[in-house]
Structure 1
């Protein structure tokens, strides 16, 4: 079957954002029991852990407000006019023709004319069509992260992670006894004995039936193999340390399942066991605690100061400096403050907000850290004395200048220690600053024709009627600080010549018919980053031979991360390694290449700068709509977007119990397999 999916567009948290005309129950009017009976949300109010069915009951108790639904549909439709891949994704070209086919405009039109019993049902319909996005109010957990492993005979099967119990004990200590007591018969209290067990069936079906069912409704990536991999546990480097990612089986962003029945073969056992273990829903870290429907809506549902855009030239809004904007909850990178957003971003908004579970100590790299290591960027030297390792969990962290300088310092240090080979681990890297990706390409590869003048890729943006008006406004003098995306300042044409300050760069459009629909795009946009974007001059020569560079990930490398991988692999001959993919599926080493991303609030800000558009529709709820604003052209097929071109990995490194979620063991195996 094909998978109708694509997360170019992301609508966050409708369950927790739709305002409602449903009258709320005053918590002081009755006893807690009576209130819970009248108000399903009171049953879960004030609690951290609850049953998924109770979360659904709360969500389903709220009817769709026609006014709010109309507002959301209007905002989605208007914002899609700026999303460059709307028509491309109706049916993607090979090799994604069976995996990506989503007619967003048709689906949104259908949803707008459909009546839904509750806002939960509305959210499910919209998220499955537009976003494939989970909700952040409550997260659903089961203490059994899964791995896809090969045995000594090379047979690949699904297993419960060997570290499952230690992870659950560390992160869900207050729920362990609940899950222990839920186990049947002789297994009661023996949750630890399930760690490392082989999965024979999930809910009575082969395990990959469940894996593929999740892949069919999961967004973010074109390749089926990458969406399958999201089901399993993995690791990522964050500013605070090494994190453990549970995977979509153990962590659900919606209260979809109440329980799961597993047929398992435990370690050192010869007969299978059948266990049914419940999911538990936990209040999200970024959710405002509540007691009933009224306080839920007041605290979590109405639009925040950052939900909609603002005039860049208006006085700044006063708000809690510690608050997290809606879009930041789901960006797969560290949080940015507004003062640090002057550099172009290409960042994926993934299915769930990043979690902060610690990678177990026995799996955390213990190699000595080298100079330049800071936050998401870490540097190591393997014991062979010639293979350096650069870990890059994101293309953004802290201050832009110091982030780039740390990359240069660490790589220079590796070179000075006689490293001749480089492994770059980008597992679960969701992107960041595009010029940081360009800078990394430049300092690794040196000043050569594949890097200069364009170290990343040429791009284009959509040229709709409103976009053209925004360009005209930007060049009229209304944007003296060059704050607008549509300002020609800093942009170049296909010959890498900067546009003049008053140049209407959307005047001459490129008109195409894509999947049967007419569309208009800008002229080709050239060089993205110049020496002015680099705090320190790059070296005069290459630090590493591109053919002696291996880039490692679980395929979940997107946006700026994907841009970097593509140019290194296709221009410099670097090797690409995907870790833990299914044997019989072609593994894409990256996805969601993009070019530059933004969201509804960013588009709304552009419009609010132009005062004659001041009444452009504002979102009434606390939500996010993300778009790919620019799309990069390909390296090999230079006239078509790189987004839809194939990126097969050179090596699908199958995981063993010794390799899984063990970064150092993986790096050593890659060094042995790729360089030797």
Structure 2
């Protein structure tokens, strides 16, 4: 009599903590379905026609010449590949998109990504000694963070330590790391940087391996880094050879990763409920016809998303882990502070600080007006110089970036009539058909669509007329030997929320923009404009001395996603066209870089591929690591 094999997904269903091996057993038990694979690849291939950088990313120019991903060729390869499981296929397509090193154009399948998240109690930091030597260390605050965030697992990690070290996990905080899984630390760092994606700059991908901080939800948060936090159950354990403080003999420990159910995962009990609850397409996975009578309830109305975004889509979700109390700024936050922004006056009485974790917030106008209020309050309090800390700022509202530039710098040729850069969109056949449908068939009478000429401005800041077929004629280009076509130049189409001040709030040469290099999208647009047009200083915190540190990563000009483009296609009545992607059948998100911004140094080429080297690489000592106030004081001392 045969018995049915146990369901590996039942072994993790309903549990908060499990081993990575158990999660992989569940994931690998589901065989790849040919129809699902074809559906995902069809969406990816046909949506790539709207992604601006497909041909640039075949072989990016220096200084980003390590980017050489042939996306369409790999999609063709994956159609023929043999996979043991759907999870194996997911890793392949996910890493294929990550090789673009573009945080706007990524593939996320929530059937797998962050369903369970891998954690270690030992986040890492790159620290610089007094003599200038740099070493990787277990973060000095590691035990404090782990014991607060993982109180139900800390004993397991304590008991995993060998012999007399059992129960002494706290003593490893601050320890110098000599080997990571048998490799010298920066071999491990660079191995991760090769697959991490999201940022063109190697320095930013290296930085993601280490712990850091961020303002989010009105509080100071702590990011464990990609060594101590994995969005997939990739590793079972980490082998660390370390030298503890006040010890001379190296010690090797093996720490198990533990997988915790993700905050967005829908509970399940077995394979069937895992697939039903977490893997199927949701109401907002695909687009809608904005004028259909059968629109799903709860959708964001097009009018509510008109504030254009340029935001990186991070496959490693930010957590709500709190920055330890001793590291949280003890300064009093002043008026204008909100969920994404905090304003402080430093102890010297002359340095204002804007800690900006994002360029977006739930209240668009409240957020932009709060930026103005905060800066004006700082100036009234006596601030004559300004630090803008954009550590781990993944972007947001494009207009917020231009608004912040304008109110800091005041009215001048670089901010009026446009504080920002000209952009261009890909001008492919399906995009052209969308515009023609809007212009000639009047399929968007309420002006909801991105492609509606009413919502676009030409390079002279004039809105296109309603009957302007603005993608005609295409501007032909040959990029890496491939023919391509782009639109005429466009200005940013949004105005400001009221009248900005009639004079500059700060001398832009006394402004310093500080980050760990993980500043993307609208954050990059702001930082580049301030640095290259206004002479502001840029600071990359904590980078390796022999690697060029860049103050921003992915740039773009405007980002969007498959669901939004799908809505454009459906509203234009083109869903059945042979060039249109099908509806996505899985719970996934595909990001797109929809517009590219032109650069400053080379105004006829995208800013994406131009140099953005930081003026100062500020090394982190143990006293500076993840300590915002100490960092700001050191920046002020060095630059002002």
| TM-score, reference length from structure 1 | 0.90
CA distance in 2, matches of 1:611, 1:599: 19
CA distance in 2, matches of 1:599, 1:136: 19
The CA deviation string for residues 538-570 of structure 1, in whole angstroms up to 9 with x for no partner, is 000111111110000000000000000000000
Residue pair 1:218, 1:351 contacting (<8 A) in 2 also: no
Question: Bigger CA drift: 300-309 or 346-355?
Answer: 346-355
CA distance in 1, matches of 2:159, 2:333: 43
2:247 to 236, 260, 269: 269
The CA deviation string for residues 126-153 of structure 1, in whole angstroms up to 9 with x for no partner, is 1111236672211111110000001121
CA distance in 2, matches of 1:292, 1:265: 44
Answering whether residue 37 of structure 2 is matched by residue 69 of structure 1, we say yes
1:634 to 599, 612, 615: 599
CA distance in 1, matches of 2:459, 2:489: 5
CA distance in 1, matches of 2:462, 2:230: 48
Answering whether residue 343 of structure 2 is matched by residue 374 of structure 1, we say no
Alpha carbons of structure 1 residues 471 and 337: separation in structure 2 relative to 1, 3 Å: closer
Residue pair 1:233, 1:246 contacting (<8 A) in 2 also: yes
CA distance in 1, matches of 2:209, 2:168: 24
1:200 to 178, 185, 207: 178
CA distance in 1, matches of 2:425, 2:217: 32
**What pairs with 1:649-664 in structure 2 (closer than 5 Å)?**
649-664=614-629
Give the Å deviation of 1:339.
Answer: 5.9
CA distance in 2, matches of 1:478, 1:340: 19
Answering whether residue 142 of structure 2 is matched by residue 164 of structure 1, we say yes
Give the Å deviation of 1:38.
Answer: 2.1
- Give the corresponding residue for 2:102: none
CA distance in 2, matches of 1:41, 1:166: 33
- Give the corresponding residue for 1:385: 349
- Give the corresponding residue for 1:146: 124
Give the Å deviation of 1:315.
Answer: 4.2
Residue pair 1:340, 1:400 contacting (<8 A) in 2 also: no
- Give the corresponding residue for 1:540: 502
Residue pair 1:422, 1:549 contacting (<8 A) in 2 also: yes
Give the Å deviation of 1:123.
Answer: 1.0
The CA deviation string for residues 167-196 of structure 1, in whole angstroms up to 9 with x for no partner, is 111111101111111111111111111111
1:125 to 88, 92, 101: 92
Gaps of 5+ in 2: 100-106
- Give the corresponding residue for 1:665: 630
Answering whether residue 537 of structure 2 is matched by residue 570 of structure 1, we say no
1:495 to 460, 463, 466: 460
Give the Å deviation of 1:478.
Answer: 1.3
- Give the corresponding residue for 2:570: 608
CA distance in 2, matches of 1:399, 1:306: 21
- Equivalent residue of 2:10, what SS? helix
2:19 to 42, 48, 51: 51
- Give the corresponding residue for 1:290: 268
The CA deviation string for residues 510-543 of structure 1, in whole angstroms up to 9 with x for no partner, is 101101111010011124333xxx2231000111
Residue pair 1:108, 1:130 contacting (<8 A) in 2 also: no
1:348 to 312, 323, 330: 312
CA distance in 2, matches of 1:581, 1:126: 30
CA distance in 2, matches of 1:636, 1:139: 41
- Equivalent residue of 1:165, what SS? helix
- Equivalent residue of 1:260, what SS? strand
Answering whether residue 77 of structure 2 is matched by residue 110 of structure 1, we say yes
Residue pair 2:303, 2:448 contacting (<8 A) in 1 also: no
Give the Å deviation of 1:316.
Answer: 6.9
**What pairs with 1:427-576 in structure 2 (closer than 5 Å)?**
427-476=391-440, 477-530=442-495, 534-576=496-538
User: Alignment RMSD, CA only?
Assistant: 1.6
Question: Bigger CA drift: 409-418 or 457-466?
Answer: 409-418
Answering whether residue 144 of structure 2 is matched by residue 180 of structure 1, we say no
Gaps of 5+ in 1: 1-29, 326-335
The size of the alignment, in residue pairs, is 624
2:546 to 572, 584, 593: 584
Residue pair 1:84, 1:628 contacting (<8 A) in 2 also: yes
Give the Å deviation of 1:612.
Answer: 4.2
- Equivalent residue of 1:256, what SS? coil
- Give the corresponding residue for 1:24: none
CA distance in 2, matches of 1:360, 1:560: 29
